[in-house]
Amino acid sequence: MGAVALGLLPPLLSPCAFAQNYPGTEETTGQTLFSSLPRPSSDAAGSQLAETLVEASKLDKDVFTLTQAATIIEQEQIERGSYTDLTEVLRSVPGLEFKQVGGPGQYNYIKMRGFGSANVLVVVDGVSMNLPSTGDVANLLSQYDPSSISRIEILRGPQTVLYGSNATAGVISITTKRGTLEPKRSISVEAGSLGWKKAKASLQQAFDVADGKLNTSLYLSHTDSDGLLKYEGTRDTTLQASADYRGKSIDAGIALTHNKNRFNYAQLKEVTTGPNGTPAYWGMQLPDPNSYNDRRTETASAYLEQRLTEQLSHRLELGWTQTQRTNADPNDGLLGYVIAPWDNFSLDYKNYFKQGEQVPFYDSGFAGTANYKDQSKQLNYSLKYAGQGFKVLGGGEIYDASASQWGAYGSLQGKNKRKSLYANGEYQIGTAGPVLAAGVRHDKYDVWGSKTTGSVGINQRVGNATIYSNYATSYAAPTLSQLYNPTYGNTNLKPESGRTVELGIRQVLPGLGANWEASLWKGKVKDAILYDGSIANARTGSGYGLYANGDALETQGLELSGDLRINAQWKLKANYTYTDSQTKKKGKDFARTVQVARHKGNIGLAYTDGPLNMDFSAFLTGKRYDWTGVDWIPGYVRFDVSARYAVSKQLNLFARIENLFDHKVQEGLGYKPMGIYGIVGAEYKF
């Protein structure tokens, strides 16, 4: 009922008159499409709409010409919220939900519009970050430092025409910190719950070079934190640098990011068979002294763009990213004891205990380490024409990926190269007619073949509102692990194929200081890749088991979002998402998709008065199936508060408390809930 009530709230929002901004207390407009939208101009008709460009569209489309839903989050909003985790920045975006378990910086699984993580493409400075071995970004979002980011654009709905594989649900495009015209130099320290300690330094500066301007940025941070259980903890170091030159006819830039993370984790054991073989669930964690997960990710990107004429330009982009991961869990023997919850209870399916008896809990570790290395190189050339009412982009891309695995879980070596041709554009009929958008892409892989995808959309402005619709096809390529795993790999796999239709409306109401957006979508995926234990396979010990195409997925839903400027100090923001996601396993009927909540919503109040900024928010998620598809993860409501106070032009104090009322927030059965969590900090600007 709570989620439904959220959805019925008036989804109103937009900027009105802002209070005076003190240093470090810049006002932002909330996590909606219009979060970076300049205020509409106040002409006599009151219908002029300011232009905000969506860079991830690759055509710098105005938000009011988009034919799909989008959300923009600016650097000031991230700073205002004093976020410690990128997941928390994204959590309140419509259509996005997470399963985040363990302590800070640990396991993280994302879903968008009911689609799994391998259908959500994450891009950093134009470089696709999804791992070639797994198709997703693993735990990157829980370990990525939000303070190193200048902008996030979330494009919901298929973006395959723009980005290729893994974009069926949408794209999360991250731009790291960039230089500013005015010099900005700062240092910051934080401390908080679970022994949280963080130090960071940032330098942003611009220089006059020849006939243009060179903007530079350098950022460094280090985090050290304990976990929820003994021996748990995380350590994270981030180094980011960028330089962008803008001249009269030439733009060029480079961005580099290095992130190194280690987290120690507790041992989890789960039992899914109850008395007499009936389905049941029991899960428990016990401290494990020597288990850890290491990840090191480097990303480099560079671009060169030349404006040939006022309307015509071409651009060359280079990208490279490498991720190395190591997992270790040596067998430490007996970790402790648990109480048997029912008769014939077993943790090892060898020794059985009566209800109430003490059951020894042994480490299920392994000898040695499991090691993984993923790398991708990208080269993209595009030609863009932007005339009156007409924009078109065409180009070609080469994507070269490799993955290797060695150690405890066997060896794997795989490579895959993709060559792509694409075209994408929009055209407005007359000065007030509809905007027509279309795109097509052809991808050719050297392993499994080719795939052609496309999209068409229409956007009609009516006063200060736009009505839009879009249809797009998409795909997810087989991962290198699915193709080349030495035991279960199958080089005969074909890609998962998807299609999605979307209908929406967005509107700015300058007189009310409000804006709102509503979007309906329906998507389908066929030939989803699964592990099928019924297929004969001589490489396995049992003689069966292979990756194969077989599953299907259908998802549909509604997203509502909006902001309302109440007065000069207060602003209300809210959103609600209804998601109906159904998965069809091979040989079975459609059933509710696991780990997807039907109802999700957020309500937030932002307060600004002179040097003080405060944000109050309530995050709600309904119940969802655990991975077993039998047991439910209960829904919850979580209340957060953050504050930032400018003591002077140089000194800012900030604080953040998550789960203010210490509600039981469970996102994975068997894992210890986080509980109330908070940090305080200080930032000094030179």
Q: What is the DSSP letter of 162?
A: H
Confidence of residue 65 (pLDDT cuts 50, 70, 90): confident
Name 301's Cβ contacts closer than 8 Å, sequence gap at least 6. 124, 125, 126, 127, 254, 255, 317, 318, 319, 320
Cα dist from 610 to 13, 645, 657, whole Å = 22, 9, 22
Task: Tell me the per-residue pLDDT of 352-390, one tens digit each, with 9 for 90 and over.
Answer: 999 999 999 999 999 999 999 999 999 999 999 999 889
What is the pLDDT of the chain when averaged over all its residues?
90
pLDDT value of position 140: 95
Task: Tell me the per-residue pLDDT of 29-39, one tens digit each, with 9 for 90 and over.
Answer: 333 333 333 33
**How far apart, in whole angstroms, are the C-alpha atoms of residue 450 and residue 495?**
9
Task: Tell me the per-residue pLDDT of 175-206, one tens digit each, with 9 for 90 and over.
Answer: 999 998 889 999 999 999 999 999 999 999 99
Tokens found for residue 396: 């070609």
**What's the whole-number mean pLDDT along residues 335-352?**
94
**What's the whole-number mean pLDDT along residues 386-408?**
95
For the cut 50, the answer to whether the pLDDT of residue 14 exceeds it is no
pLDDT value of position 51: 63
Cα dist from 65 to 8, 70, 243, whole Å = 27, 11, 30
**How far apart, in whole angstroms, are the C-alpha atoms of residue 111 and residue 188?**
32
| pLDDT > 90 in the chain, percent | 82
Whether residue 660 contacts residue 674, with contact meaning beta carbons closer than 8 Å, is answered with no
pLDDT value of position 3: 37
pLDDT value of position 22: 34
Residue 541, classified by CB atoms within 10 Å of its CB into exposed (0-12), middle (13-18) or buried (19+), is exposed
**How far apart, in whole angstroms, are the C-alpha atoms of residue 330 and residue 193?**
29
The CATH superfamily label for domain 2-330+365-685 reads TonB-dependent receptor, beta-barrel domain (2.40.170.20)
Task: Tell me the per-residue pLDDT of 146-183, one tens digit each, with 9 for 90 and over.
Answer: 999 999 999 999 999 999 999 999 999 999 999 988 89
27/635: higher pLDDT: 635
Confidence of residue 64 (pLDDT cuts 50, 70, 90): confident
Which of 26-40, 244-258, 284-298, 309-323 has the lowest average pLDDT? 26-40
Task: Tell me the per-residue pLDDT of 94-135, one tens digit each, with 9 for 90 and over.
Answer: 999 999 999 999 999 999 999 999 999 999 999 999 999 999
395/16: higher pLDDT: 395
pLDDT value of position 27: 37
What is the amino acid identity at position 104?
A: P
Confidence of residue 11 (pLDDT cuts 50, 70, 90): very low
Residue 485, classified by CB atoms within 10 Å of its CB into exposed (0-12), middle (13-18) or buried (19+), is buried
**How far apart, in whole angstroms, are the C-alpha atoms of residue 600 and residue 579?**
8
Name 443's Cβ contacts closer than 8 Å, sequence gap at least 6. 164, 165, 418, 419, 420, 450, 451, 452, 453
pLDDT value of position 12: 31
Beta bridge partners of 213: 208, 246
**How far apart, in whole angstroms, are the C-alpha atoms of residue 306 and residue 315?**
6
**How far apart, in whole angstroms, are the C-alpha atoms of residue 475 and residue 422?**
15
Return the residue matching tokens 């979330």. Answer: 154
φ/ψ (deg, to 5) at 148: -90, 10
Give the pairing type, strands 170-176 and 120-124.
parallel
Domain segments of the chain as ranges:
2-330+365-685
pLDDT value of position 49: 41
Task: Tell me the per-residue pLDDT of 293-308, one tens digit each, with 9 for 90 and over.
Answer: 999 999 999 999 999 9
pTM: 0.92
246/1: higher pLDDT: 246
Name 651's Cβ contacts closer than 8 Å, sequence gap at least 6. 682, 683, 684, 685
Confidence of residue 585 (pLDDT cuts 50, 70, 90): confident
Task: Tell me the per-residue pLDDT of 553-582, one tens digit each, with 9 for 90 and over.
Answer: 999 999 999 999 999 999 999 999 999 999
pLDDT value of position 35: 35
φ/ψ (deg, to 5) at 595: 60, 25
For the cut 90, the answer to whether the pLDDT of residue 645 exceeds it is yes
Confidence of residue 534 (pLDDT cuts 50, 70, 90): confident
